[in-house]
Amino acid sequence: MEITIQNLAVLILVSLFLIWAFTAPWRRKTRDRVHWENWNKALDSLKREYGCRMFRIVDIRHHASTGTKAYAIFEDTSEEEAIWIPDFWPSKGGYILSKGDYGYGSHHDENVYYVKQVLLRLHKDTYKGWKRYEKRLKKVEAGVSDSRF
């Protein structure tokens, strides 16, 4: 059997795919651990830092050259509120740990949370990864063997 360049290329691609497929669970666990560490860092900052608030961006109203007008759900109240973040352009679904104050937003005649300082920016999958990792930790603590840990 003669090995051609085409056969070699197919063999390499199949090998790379198999490596990628078999390492996917390990990569997810690694990402979940990073998400777990970042979420816990945010929770610690919420406890330590006076005036610190965390919210999730649920809708981007406008990305301006000077910042972002958006709507967010705050973790402490679970209410959706208008926010303004100067010189910062977050993505929808992401979490932000910040300090700021409320003020009047004349453009839409609404109360707006004006972010003065962004302390931490978290990916939109951070909370889900944190929950998965917490679940694995609880299984290990309960004595349930988890070879996927």
Summarize pLDDT for 129-141 with one digit per residue, the tens.
999 999 988 888 8
Q: What is the pLDDT of residue 139?
A: 86
> Is the pTM of the predicted complex or chain greater than 0.85?
no
Q: Rounded CA gap, 80 and 96, in Å?
A: 14
| Domain map (residue ranges) of the chain | 51-128
Mean per-residue pLDDT, 80-92: 94
Q: What class is the 51-128 domain?
A: mainly beta
Q: What is the pLDDT of residue 79?
A: 93
Q: Is the pLDDT of residue 121 over 90?
A: yes
Q: What is the pLDDT of residue 2?
A: 74
Three-state helix/strand/coil letters over 20-88: HHHHHHHHHHHHHHHHHHHHHHHHHHHHHCCCEEEEEEEEEEEEECCEEEEEEEECCCCCEEEEEEECC
